Amino acid sequence: MASAQVLSERGLDRIPEDYVRPPEERPEVAHDSFSHRQNIPVIDLSESRPRSQIVKEISQACEGWGFFQVLNHGVPYELLQRIMDVGAQFLSLPVHEKQLYSCRPGIAASEGYGHRMLVQENQVLDWRDYFDHHTLPLARRNINNWPGKPPIYRHTIEEYSEQMKLLAQRLLSLISESLGLKPSYIQNAIGEPYQNISLNYYPPCPEPELTLGLQSHSDLGAITLLLQDDVGGLQVCVDDTWVAVQPLHGALVVNLADQVQILSNGRYKSIEHRAVVNRNRSRISIATFYDPGREVTISPAPELLSANNPATYNSVLFGDHVSAWYNKGPKGKKVLDSLAV
């Protein structure tokens, strides 16, 4: 099956039927996107700012949105540029070279190059190619599975993995505090972190109004950090309206994922989001997922529950939550909603 890039390069005027979404899922590719230019919060993480102020802003952003951008996050700007650059260099290789790293079909979250995320056959396809890297724990890391071109690719992923781990841990400690829990709380609930880094490529699309680059979903684990170029296309669902996340130079987009929604007993949201594509420009984003292992049970924090605030989610083994998502398709947040008490 052809990748989105191959289809894009064929110069078709129509997209294949497999990519056409049912009418209710089609994006408004808004010429008037400026009219709903409501922005997700931006938080300045400078070490010089009072921690209590940052915690307050985090709490508002997590309660109101579950999505925010961070600036002065401590990740060297040079590294952000370099990872985008090596990602673009790999993506510009001929398809047959990229296919040397193809991920294994029919296996959820298998490492490598692919364009078909879900396991089930009769899914509408996303107008996206990706490369998924298994970066943590180190026992899962095999850099020979990652692109060998350009030569600095593998080392750059390793450096980025370390920086994303540190930033995720810092954010999770702030988020824990903002819930009135001890700073290490969410990290302890995660246990040994599982980190995946996905390089996403959204090629130009002749009929962007009929398809999506990435269908609506919420992320499964604890927290996701997204680096995107200046093209734009990420949208978040706020009160049933799709709001575009404006690319902000040097920023990382942070979104809470399902484990944090469950752990906070629904106080914080793992927001539904999707990526739209456009006719003229290709887009690259790099998502770093920070998750528990499959054997970890995710559940509401007992410290946050009381007679007046009973658990609103059943506990679930993280591995079962992941399997449900990949097998049935995310269908927005249906997989998470099915855990409601």
Smallest separation (angstroms) from Ni ion to the CB of 162: 22
Longest CA pairwise span in the chain (Å) = 61
Smallest gap from residue 3 Cβ to Ni ion (A): 20
Q: How far is the CB of 48 from ligand OGA (least distance, A)?
A: 31
**Does the protein bind ligand OGA through residue 285 (CB under 6 A)?**
yes
Q: What does 234 interact with, of ligand OGA, Ni ion, none (CB < 5 to 8 A by kind)? A: ligand OGA
What secondary structure does DSSP assign to 85-152, as a single string? HHHHHHHTS-HHHHGGGBPPTTSTT-SEEES---SSSSPPPPS-EEEEEEEESGGG--GGGS---STT
> Which residue number, 219 or 291, has a Cβ lying nearer to Ni ion?
219
Regarding 135 and contact with ligand OGA (CB under 6 A), the answer is no
251 close to 64: Cβ distance less than 8 angstroms = no
C-alpha distances out from residue 276 to 65, 127, 128, 240, 244, Å: 20, 9, 10, 16, 10
Distance CA 253, CA 67 (A): 7
Among 167, 214, 222, 296, binds ligand OGA (CB under 6 A): 214
- Distance in Å, CB of 47 to ligand OGA, minimum: 28
How far, in Å, CA of 215 to CA of 177, rounded? 32
| H or E element, residue 217 | strand 214-217
Single out the residue of 178, 200, 265, 270 in contact with ligand OGA (rule: CB under 6 A).
200
Tell me how far, at minimum, the Cβ of 217 lies from Ni ion, in Å.
6
Residue closer to ligand OGA by CB (options 163, 288) is 288
Q: How far is CA 261 from CA 32, 212, 312, in A?
A: 32, 25, 10
Stretch that binds ligand OGA, among 228-236, 293-301, 302-310, 320-328 (CB under 6 A): 228-236
Task: Determine, following the binding rule CB under 6 A, whether residue 157 of this chain makes contact with ligand OGA.
Answer: no
DSSP state at residue 163: H
| Closest CA relative to residue 270, chosen from 200, 219, 196, 228 | 219
Partner whose footprint covers residue 285, from ligand OGA, Ni ion, none (CB < 5 to 8 Å by kind): ligand OGA
Q: Does 116 bind ligand OGA (CB under 6 A)?
A: no
Of the residues 287, 296, 301, 322, which one makes contact with ligand OGA according to CB under 6 A: 287
Radius of gyration of the chain (CA): 19
Candidates 197, 227, 271, 275: give the one binding ligand OGA (CB under 6 A): 275
Q: Tell me if 134 contacts ligand OGA by CB under 6 A.
A: no
Catalog residues that contact ligand OGA under the rule CB under 6 A: 198, 200, 214, 219, 226, 228, 233-234, 273, 275, 285, 287
Catalog residues that contact Ni ion under the rule CB under 5 A: 219
